[in-house]
Structure 1
Amino acid sequence: MKKVFISLLILAIGTIKISAQIGINTPNPQATFHIDGAKDNPATGTPSPAQQANDVVVTAQGRLGVGTNTPTNNLEVNSGTTGTSGMKITQLPSATILATDAGGNVISGITGDAGVSVTKIRLQPANAATILNSGSGDYSFRYSSNTTGGTWQIRINNGTTRQFNIWDTEYSGQNGTGVSSTVWQLRTVKNIAVNTWTPLDDNIAGGANEYNVYHVYDLTRGTILRLTVTLSNVSGISESMILEEF
């Protein structure tokens, strides 16, 4: 009996070596190690892209494929959706800049001396629901209008109430001459509470063609934000925003 058991064990090991491929939820593995998550691959032939979407494979070259059975790099992830990576780093949210440390680990590149992060919203109908967040996610901006005009507003998303220095330069009109062309400037110092939309200053914006440049200085954190905004008469009042965070 012992000899029979040993013979069967050797035969089983030999079978695994000969097959050279292991499939989980599929009798038709496409790589050295293949998991068919939804168990929807065909018994023969090549799975379709939709069927591969829930697959994970390890190839003979040591490549890992997620959502693809034919990875062309050491790691390839196919989300199946254009513009979506399919990857998520849970503990590294709102990092518009990624970098590596001395050990090669992926880290956030947003540091005090990393430079500038830029976010933007292209020309679209002016709406208070349109919000532009800074690269760090610490600050948000929007244009909010009412019957008497509107204001460019800031919201700080974490920390405590703190003081800001705000410089505003506004340009309106055209051609550089006459009363139709003006330049308006203002410096404002104000305390801004957390999670509260607050006008950057007392300037009422809402003209058909206005251009503002705001320099916003967080006195507590030392962060500088430069917000460039326009209101244009394009199929109704439209807005655009460019935000740089230093």
Structure 2
Amino acid sequence: MKSQIFILSLAVSVQAYSQTGRVGINTENPQNTFHIDGGKDNPLTGTPSDAQQANDVIITNDGKIGIGMTVPKNLLNITKKGNTTGVVNPFVDGITITADVNSTGFTGSGFYLEGANAIAGQRLFKLNYTRNTAGNSFLNFQAVADDASNNTRQIMSVYHNGNVGIGGNPNTTPAAERLDVVEGNVRVRTINTNVGNGTTDRRVVADANGILKTIDNEDYNFFHSRLINNQTLSSDALTNTVLFGIPIATSPFYTYNTSTGILTFNSSGLYFITYQGGFSEFAAGTHLLLGIINVATGQYIGRGSNWSALARTGNVGQMSSYTTMINVPSSGYQVRFIAYAGNSGSAVLLANETGGSGTGNVTNLTIQKTR
């Protein structure tokens, strides 16, 4: 008698339909080969609503498994709250998890990976698909509390547009570049053995916002300019600012004003300077001077001079050269370059010398940032 009651009970809870070969648990209206209605709320006929499917599990005749739905689109299809999947290709092999992402930040469908024996506070890792407050969808890697009550650390975000963010908060600091390291330093432990080409390769630098950029290798550290036109020198050395032409080579380290002759350093550091000039139209025994003036104080930073035993006139003059190293304390530091050839007020600083072998520049300035 007891065995008869058991068989009857089983028949009530599991309905087998020989006509269709379908089995339903808690439902008399199975939608495919094997159908469990967890909430016992499905209709006797027709298709269950989204809300009714939310507590269902189904196995189809082609081997697909659906959780929260009755028509899975691939091998394993999980949905939340009856959301309808957007997957339309029924031949996709894989796993689909469908959930709402109406709330932003760190919510949304995902996987929880738990290491039960891990250090306390490091036992749970979450991978989910969500969106930020701007509406941009991204795959989210995050560390969460051991009880999954809250997010503890943002690890990485992979956005639908291909950008990847490391650290930060997707709501306030979304990845703006293909690789955007929001927090922490970048380290490469092993560099390959490829040898660069100093002529064609470009240097990689970071701008003020941390964005990596490339600059020309050849003129990265250098500034070079030449005097374009002859310049008459007054008897007051400090007023004889040399007006060089547009720089032939320069970089973001330098800003030169061709009207005032003021050079602005845009980065602190040590700078190696070579300054040369050709003097003419002066008497024998004239004091020749090349100097560097601090614009802010009006005082010399450095100077080099000599006395010419001979007078010079015409297009071939007396060469003078000065080499030094200066320490630029901060960005915005300004200097100007002066030249002096006695008190006559008629001496000339030559742009070019012209002789029997030809014409060439003689007054120029070269600067190199060493560190």
What is the TM-score normalised by the length of structure 2? 0.26
The structure whose RCO (Cα within 8 Å, separation 6+) is larger is: 1
TM normalised by structure 1 equals 0.35
